[in-house]
Structure 1
Amino acid sequence: MSMLFAAAGGEAIGQKAYGPGVSDTEIVIGQTAPYSGPASALSRIHKSEVSYFEYLNAKGGISGRKVRLLSYDDGFSPPKAFEQVRRLVEQDEVAAVFSLLGTAINISVRQYLNGKKVPQLFTAAQSSSLADPQRYPYTMGLLPTLRSEGVFYGKHIVATKPRGKIAVIYQNDDFGKDLVGGLKEGLGSQREGQVDSQPFEVTVPTVENQVAALAASRPEVLLIFAYPKHTAQAIRKVHEMGWKPTIYMFSGSGSISSTIKPAGVEASTGVLRAAFFKDPTDPRWKDDPEMKEWLEYSKQYTPDADVSDYLNSSAIAFAKVLEQVLRQCGDNLTRENILKQAQSLHDFPLPLGLPGAVVNTSETNYEPVKFMELQRFDGSTWVPVEQ
């Protein structure tokens, strides 16, 4: 049986009940994506998601219904995203909004979507503020929160570098601040005071000045909490300066094609990150049936995508988890039941996830995946770090 693309079980049986965006033949889902703007490198996530549902529809869809994913450009601009999300809800009448990228984007539409009781599922953003079921029950992420990731790095630094200065360059918004908050929590009160930080605005063309300012005191550890473009700039500048700190980077910027190659392979060797997904470049998965199946799928449905880039493969996880939720809905495809089923995932293996990465949700658990593995770039691929 196909592992990655098998029809998931657990479909509910009962009377048909449809909400907006659903008919006997179709389920309409919506999203916005940064097809233009400063985060455009990450739009490949959404292109892969669109392609997956095209693949799924060619196989018959979900219980005979085609899933139509409407994907509009938001330019990575919260005001534009809000305008496009309103279009999706009020004109297109989507059943749910799915996989919006970026903390600021998701926060900008969260109150509106919760007010309209439209599920905002599996955000492509890891802010801990997006895991708040009491205040925003219709908004749910998928991956470990940024705060959890920051804590993860802080604890590793304490264990491996018990002394010495720590430098952080971070995006000056909720995304960057969440990671920094988690880092300080993980470091604890004794080490928190040893952190020197430099914020930057997402719109700046370069972060070289911030890196130079941090390098002045030659800290032993540098954490880069940024998206691929600025992460690559920072790694390259550190290398050019001859500064040799231990570098940790945000998990979502670990793409070899979007970050490592632009930064330079030599400059990037030794960099650390948290990971939850199998990386297509990792020889551990050369004979893995799930990875082999994804590679075959990619050749047919995303032939222009770089198969070595885990952003393309990880996008399948978001799409597959949404597929599972829709299958669990059976013929009760109201917005209320879509949310209920999203809250009812139990030990569902994260598609293309590392061993141990499973999806669990409830009405009070909105951090579906908690598993993280520390990895190091060894000059050709990401390899696990013994802890």
Structure 2
Amino acid sequence: NYQSEGRIYAKYIRDKFPNSKIAVLWQNDDAGKDQFKGLKDGLGDKANMIIADKSYEVSDPSIDSQIVALHDSGADIFFSWAAPKGSAQAIRKVGELGWKPKFFLANTATSIASVLKPAGLDYSKDIISTAYLKDPTDPTWDKDPAVIAWRTFMDKYYPEGDKTNANNLYGYVQAEAMAQVLKQCGDNLTRDNVMKQATNLKDFHTDLMLPGIMVNTSADDYFPIEQMQLMRFNGQAWELFGDVITGEVGHERGQ
């Protein structure tokens, strides 16, 4: 969930760059607000590190003016909480300005094919983001049995599907989690029991999740995945680094 992602970045920044100044571009919808909230909550008493933020509408034809204003703030860390199109525009504009902040990119906009290449691979180098699933476009996983099984599934059931579109992998992993819920239900497939089991997943893991990523839910915590691993773009591919980081949101969903 987006708040967890924000908290995970905040943990990393508090640890590695505690004296930095942060500028944030965020999408003016629930997704952007949740991501921004997670970052602020995770920074806690360091939230004043955020010295500038600008919102944008998904329908905006350009976000150049927002990027220029954030550049002029003097920040040395830049966050792009934006959909793929907005993120590609942000990467390109930051590059054109010659701005060299530590650049953090929302997990939903990490596609090399649809975001980084259109923005410019040279401008995208050293961007940091997060992952919790294996990336089938990453050569690291070419011979991974789970990725091979997913490709075989796609060839059989969805041959016209785009294997570079992360949503196709995401949907497959969601289906694996749903299958686990149904297994736990046994023969009692009432709505009440489905909901009970969906909120009673304990250390569930599929082989398409990164090592160490676990799904845990409870009666008062509906967020399945609250762990991610950081990754950095090397100009050609994403490289995972560091340990799995937990960004648990706890009981703040209603706030």
TM-score range, shorter chain: 0.7 to 0.9
- Give, in whole Å, the separation in 2 of the partners of 1:153 and 1:307: 28
Tell me the equivalent position of 2:232: 376
Tell me the equivalent position of 1:61: none
Out of 282-291 and 189-198, give the one that drifted further: 189-198
What is the TM-score when the length of structure 1 is the normalising length? 0.59
Unaligned runs of 5+ in 2: 244-255
Tell me the equivalent position of 1:178: 34
- Is it true that 1:252 corresponds to 2:108 in the alignment? yes
Tell me the equivalent position of 2:137: 281
Contact 1:224/1:250, CA 8 A, preserved across alignment: yes
- Is it true that 1:356 corresponds to 2:218 in the alignment? no
| Deviation of the 1:191 alpha carbon | 4.8
Judged with a 3 Å threshold, the aligned counterparts in structure 2 of structure 1 residues 225 and 327 are, in CA distance, closer, same or farther, namely same
Which amino acid letter does the alignment assign opposite residue 76 of structure 2? Answer: E
Which amino acid letter does the alignment assign opposite residue 293 of structure 1? Answer: A
| Deviation of the 1:193 alpha carbon | 4.6
Local SS of the residue matching 1:358: coil
Tell me the equivalent position of 1:308: 164
Tell me the equivalent position of 1:343: 199
- Give, in whole Å, the separation in 2 of the partners of 1:184 and 1:313: 30
Match of 1:215 among 65, 71, 76: 71
Tell me the equivalent position of 1:46: none
Contact 2:87/2:115, CA 8 A, preserved across alignment: yes
> Number of paired residues?
243
Identical amino acids, percent of aligned pairs: 43
Which amino acid letter does the alignment assign opposite residue 315 of structure 1? Answer: G
- Give, in whole Å, the separation in 2 of the partners of 1:194 and 1:368: 29
Which amino acid letter does the alignment assign opposite residue 302 of structure 1? Answer: Y
- Give, in whole Å, the separation in 1 of the partners of 2:7 and 2:226: 12
Local SS of the residue matching 2:135: coil
- Give, in whole Å, the separation in 2 of the partners of 1:309 and 1:220: 31
| Deviation of the 1:373 alpha carbon | 0.2
- Is it true that 1:264 corresponds to 2:106 in the alignment? no
| Deviation of the 1:291 alpha carbon | 0.9
Contact 1:317/1:351, CA 8 A, preserved across alignment: no
| Deviation of the 1:331 alpha carbon | 3.1
Tell me the equivalent position of 2:252: none
Which amino acid letter does the alignment assign opposite residue 386 of structure 1? Answer: G
Judged with a 3 Å threshold, the aligned counterparts in structure 2 of structure 1 residues 304 and 250 are, in CA distance, closer, same or farther, namely same
Contact 2:205/2:214, CA 8 A, preserved across alignment: yes
| Deviation of the 1:201 alpha carbon | 1.9
Contact 1:218/1:243, CA 8 A, preserved across alignment: no
Judged with a 3 Å threshold, the aligned counterparts in structure 2 of structure 1 residues 195 and 350 are, in CA distance, closer, same or farther, namely farther
Judged with a 3 Å threshold, the aligned counterparts in structure 2 of structure 1 residues 190 and 321 are, in CA distance, closer, same or farther, namely closer
Judged with a 3 Å threshold, the aligned counterparts in structure 2 of structure 1 residues 193 and 273 are, in CA distance, closer, same or farther, namely closer
Which amino acid letter does the alignment assign opposite residue 339 of structure 1? Answer: M
Cα-to-partner distance string for 1:239-273 (whole Å, 9 max, x where unaligned): 11111111111112212222222222222121111
Tell me the equivalent position of 1:203: 59
What is the TM-score when the length of structure 2 is the normalising length? 0.87
Judged with a 3 Å threshold, the aligned counterparts in structure 2 of structure 1 residues 283 and 201 are, in CA distance, closer, same or farther, namely same
- Give, in whole Å, the separation in 1 of the partners of 2:51 and 2:39: 10
Q: CA RMSD in A?
A: 1.9
Unaligned runs of 5+ in 1: 1-144
- Give, in whole Å, the separation in 1 of the partners of 2:126 and 2:52: 22
Cα-to-partner distance string for 1:328-383 (whole Å, 9 max, x where unaligned): 32332222121112122222214510001121222123122222100011122211
- Give, in whole Å, the separation in 2 of the partners of 1:372 and 1:379: 21
- Give, in whole Å, the separation in 2 of the partners of 1:368 and 1:295: 24
- Give, in whole Å, the separation in 2 of the partners of 1:201 and 1:172: 6
Match of 1:239 among 51, 74, 95: 95
Tell me the equivalent position of 1:20: none
Tell me the equivalent position of 2:22: 166
Tell me the equivalent position of 2:247: none
Judged with a 3 Å threshold, the aligned counterparts in structure 2 of structure 1 residues 287 and 273 are, in CA distance, closer, same or farther, namely same
Judged with a 3 Å threshold, the aligned counterparts in structure 2 of structure 1 residues 177 and 334 are, in CA distance, closer, same or farther, namely same
Contact 1:167/1:214, CA 8 A, preserved across alignment: yes
- Give, in whole Å, the separation in 1 of the partners of 2:49 and 2:142: 44
Cα-to-partner distance string for 1:106-139 (whole Å, 9 max, x where unaligned): xxxxxxxxxxxxxxxxxxxxxxxxxxxxxxxxxx
Contact 1:151/1:182, CA 8 A, preserved across alignment: yes
Cα-to-partner distance string for 1:210-252 (whole Å, 9 max, x where unaligned): 1111111342110011111111111111111111111111112
Contact 1:169/1:224, CA 8 A, preserved across alignment: yes
Local SS of the residue matching 1:230: helix
